[in-house]
């Protein structure tokens, strides 16, 4: 597991000691410890693995890729189902740091007639406790317990004058609300935050944070929260203490989920946890424990979710996940497509990415349009942006349209957001199949057509459920691409053109278009002109 801001390359936030071979077998090493694979390098005809453990159990799978993925998820943990609202378009930005800004963005979605079902707020907290709204006025407590909503005063001059009313407003507009989280007690060296200090004193007094080998508090030696304490979720008391401070967000404010960021914070083999495990095991196991606490808590209260970056084997039991922070470039676009296919093979079907990138200069209009069309055919469709810069960095369609002098971008995004809403019956059906079998919704052609050697060579086409094959344009400046059509008969859902399988075709796709083919024999009737329609045919209904 590796935390890298941008340019991740082949590094990942969700490692798994597991692989599938084109030779018809798969292997999963049953360990939380550091593992390194050598996949036949140097001309060798065998693979080897090095594991930081004295004993090791492992599983071997055999059969087709679908069968092996199903076998793997049967023992590692099948994915949990998402509520239908999680499959609609999401909207998010670090720039939305006030209630006024959140309401403004919602009104803009209505102005431009763009559907959305989820709004994520990252910059909401005081950036010290990570559970109190910025500018809230309150009397500090001892740090033992959380606050109730009525213990806060939210002044009109503050950035969040009415959190509960804001979430009610979001719900009235068909939006679920997700708030950002991080599993730390923050180190602040510039000035004291009295409530944070009391929380820290209480946590240290009761041993609620990870420790060093000598028993002193473990403080993170690197990364974006250097010197901060790490909450020990192996300690039931610590987990309950941490979640109690977030109780009012769920029960009173009535948020719908947590964006559980971070989790890659166990640096060093000798870090100690209360259940006896050390950094050797917890480097990989920690994010699942942290995220699992949030998922169980919100899921017990309502049909809520978590949205996480880090994880390990079995992470799909706490959906959903995203690919991490990336630049707005075509090369990052291609890497994220590969990441989504690998996530699916690894048993994590409910995955998304920050379409068109999150960081740095905003994407070109071309990249934004290409990414939006592809994201419409991903398990999670969402845009997100990093914090304010000299110019507005939002990845909203209206900001891209203004910054890039490309008003047509709004029309493109609206088209795919509405298409996405029309696809919800199909997506939900396919998601239920993922939960039942472990086979991902977004899957590499090799998974669907293992006997087709040509399909095994392609990374930029994929199946989206049983019936649709997406072929996005991922090269800058291109308006056509080669598309390999597997066996059978396939119909372009946008043009109606029919293609016979076993051949490669050159197909056109203007900047606002994506190539999506429907397999013959599908149970779904699809209309993508005028009023979008995805419904079961009369014969299959």
Strand partners, 217: 211
Radius of gyration of the chain (CA): 24
In 367-502, DSSP assigns E strands to: 380-382, 442-444, 462-464, 468-471, 480-485, 489-492, 498-500
Q: Give which of 361, 289, 301 is closest to 332, Cα–Cα.
A: 361
Which residues, other chains included, contact 310 with Cβ-Cβ below 8 Å and sequence gap of 6+? 1, 3, 13, 14, 262, 263, 264, 287, 291
Q: Are 28 and 39 in contact (CB under 8 A)?
A: no
264 is catalytic: yes
Which residues, other chains included, contact 427 with Cβ-Cβ below 8 Å and sequence gap of 6+? 87, 379, 441, 465
Tokens representing 300?
Answer: 């017990």
Q: Are 193 and 126 in contact (CB under 8 A)?
A: yes
199 is catalytic: no
Q: Give which of 176, 178, 173, 261 is closest to 224, Cα–Cα.
A: 261
Q: Are 69 and 97 in contact (CB under 8 A)?
A: no
* Alpha carbons 120 and 96: distance in angstroms, whole number: 9
Q: Give which of 367, 369, 470, 474 is closest to 412, Cα–Cα.
A: 369
Q: Find the catalytic residue in 264, 354, 386, 467.
A: 264
Q: Find the catalytic residue in 200, 261, 366, 460.
A: 261
What does the buried/exposed string (b/e) look like for 72-92 if buried means 16 or more CB atoms within 10 Å of the residue's CB?
Answer: bbeebbbbebbbebbbbbbbb
Q: Find the catalytic residue in 325, 326, 448, 466.
A: 325
Q: Are 389 and 416 in contact (CB under 8 A)?
A: no
The pairing of strands 118-121 and 89-93 is parallel
What's the half-sphere exposure (Cβ side, CA atoms, 13 Å) at 168?
Answer: 7
Long-range contacts of 358-361 (CB under 8 A, 24+ apart): 358/325, 358/326, 358/327, 358/328, 358/384, 358/385, 358/386, 358/395, 359/5, 359/6, 359/325, 359/326, 359/327, 359/328, 359/386, 360/6, 360/327, 360/328, 360/386, 361/328
Which residues, other chains included, contact 212 with Cβ-Cβ below 8 Å and sequence gap of 6+? 218, 270, 271, 272
354 is catalytic: no
Strand partners, 468: 464, 518
Catalytic (active-site) positions: 261, 264, 325
């Amino acid at each position: 597991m590796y935390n890298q801001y941008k340019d991740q390359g082949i590094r990942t936030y969700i490692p798994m000691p597991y692989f599938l071979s084109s030779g018809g077998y798969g292997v999963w090493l049953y360990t939380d410890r550091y593992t390194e694979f050598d996949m036949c390098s140097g001309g060798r005809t065998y693979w080897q693995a090095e594991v930081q453990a004295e004993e090791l159990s492992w599983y071997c799978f055999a059969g087709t890729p679908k069968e092996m993925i199903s076998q793997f998820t049967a023992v590692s943990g099948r994915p949990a189902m998402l509520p239908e609202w999680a499959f609609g378009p999401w909207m998010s930005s670090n720039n939305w740091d006030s209630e006024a800004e959140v309401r403004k963005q919602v009104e803009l979605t209505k102005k431009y007639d763009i559907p959305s079902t989820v709004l994520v707020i990252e910059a909401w907290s005081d950036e010290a406790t990570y559970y109190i709204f910025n500018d809230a006025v309150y009397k500090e407590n001892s740090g033992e317990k959380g606050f109730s909503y009525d213990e806060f005063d939210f002044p009109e001059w503050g950035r969040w004058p009415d959190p509960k009313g804001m979430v009610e407003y979001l719900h009235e507009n068909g939006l679920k609300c997700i708030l950002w989280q991080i599993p730390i007690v923050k180190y602040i060296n510039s000035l004291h935050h009295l409530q944070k200090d009391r929380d820290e004193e209480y946590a240290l007094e009761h041993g609620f944070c990870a420790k060093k080998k000598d028993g002193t508090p473990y403080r993170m030696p690197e990364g974006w929260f250097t010197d901060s304490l790490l909450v020990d979720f192996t300690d039931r008391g610590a987990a309950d203490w941490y979640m109690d401070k977030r109780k009012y967000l769920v029960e009173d404010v009535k948020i719908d989920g947590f964006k559980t960021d971070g989790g890659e914070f166990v640096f060093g083999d000798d870090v100690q946890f209360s259940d006896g495990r050390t950094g050797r095991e917890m480097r990989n196991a920690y994010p699942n424990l942290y995220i699992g606490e949030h998922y169980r808590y919100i899921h017990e209260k309502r049909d809520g979710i978590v949205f996480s970056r880090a994880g390990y084997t079995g992470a799909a039991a706490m959906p959903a996940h995203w690919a991490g922070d990336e630049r707005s470039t075509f090369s990052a676009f291609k890497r994220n497509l590969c990441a989504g296919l690998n996530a699916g093979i690894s048993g994590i079907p409910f995955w998304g990415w920050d379409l068109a990138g999150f960081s740095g200069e905003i994407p070109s209009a071309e990249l934004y349009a290409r990414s939006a069309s592809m994201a419409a055919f991903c398990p999670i469709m969402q845009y997100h942006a990093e914090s304010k810069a000299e110019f507005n960095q939002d990845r909203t369609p209206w900001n891209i349209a203004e910054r890039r002098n490309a008003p047509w971008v709004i029309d493109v995004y609206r088209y795919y957001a509405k298409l996405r809403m029309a696809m919800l019956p199909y997506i939900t059906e396919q998601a239920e199949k993922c939960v039942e079998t472990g086979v991902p919704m977004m899957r590499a052609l090799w998974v669907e057509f293992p006997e087709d050697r040509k399909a095994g060579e392609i990374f930029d086409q994929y199946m989206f459920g049983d019936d649709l094959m997406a072929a996005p344009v991922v090269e800058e400046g291109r308006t056509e691409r080669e598309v390999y059509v597997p066996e059978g008969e396939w119909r372009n859902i946008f043009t109606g053109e029919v293609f016979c399988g076993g051949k490669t075709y050159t197909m056109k796709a203007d900047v606002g278009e994506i190539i999506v083919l429907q397999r013959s024999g599908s149970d779904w009737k699809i209309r993508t002109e005028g009023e979008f329609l995805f419904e079961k045919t009369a014969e299959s209904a």
